Amino acid sequence: MDHDTFNMGIRKYLKVVGVTSQREIERAVSEAIEAGKLKGNETLQARVVLTIEGIGLEHEIKGEIALE
């Protein structure tokens, strides 16, 4: 295994995950505010599950996203 190639692959994947996730969260929150489902001052509970089937990895990350 080439560790440099491996690390670059991980970083590239996580960059896509981060950018895409942020975009989707922003869109969903904006739509929820427009629809009256959120006021805009809430703290949202978030959860991400990372799964890599080829190695049997399943890792859960929980957190909060404050809107105000």
Question: What pLDDT, on a 0 to 100 scale, did the predictor assign at position 40?
Answer: 97
Question: What pLDDT, on a 0 to 100 scale, did the predictor assign at position 37?
Answer: 98
Q: What angle do CA 7, 19, 9 make, to 5 degrees?
A: 15
CB contact at 8 A, 60 and 48 = yes
Please list the ranges in the chain whose pLDDT falls under 70.
none
Q: What is the DSSP letter of 28?
A: H
Task: Tell me the chain's radius of gyration from C-alpha atoms.
Answer: 16
Question: What pLDDT, on a 0 to 100 scale, did the predictor assign at position 60?
Answer: 98
Question: What pLDDT, on a 0 to 100 scale, did the predictor assign at position 55?
Answer: 98
Question: What pLDDT, on a 0 to 100 scale, did the predictor assign at position 4?
Answer: 98
Question: What pLDDT, on a 0 to 100 scale, did the predictor assign at position 46?
Answer: 98
Calculate the dihedral angle through the C-alpha atoms of 49, 54, 55, 56, rounding to the nearest 10 degrees.
Answer: 50
Query: For the whole model, what pTM was predicted?
Result: 0.89
H helix runs in the chain, sequence order = 3-34
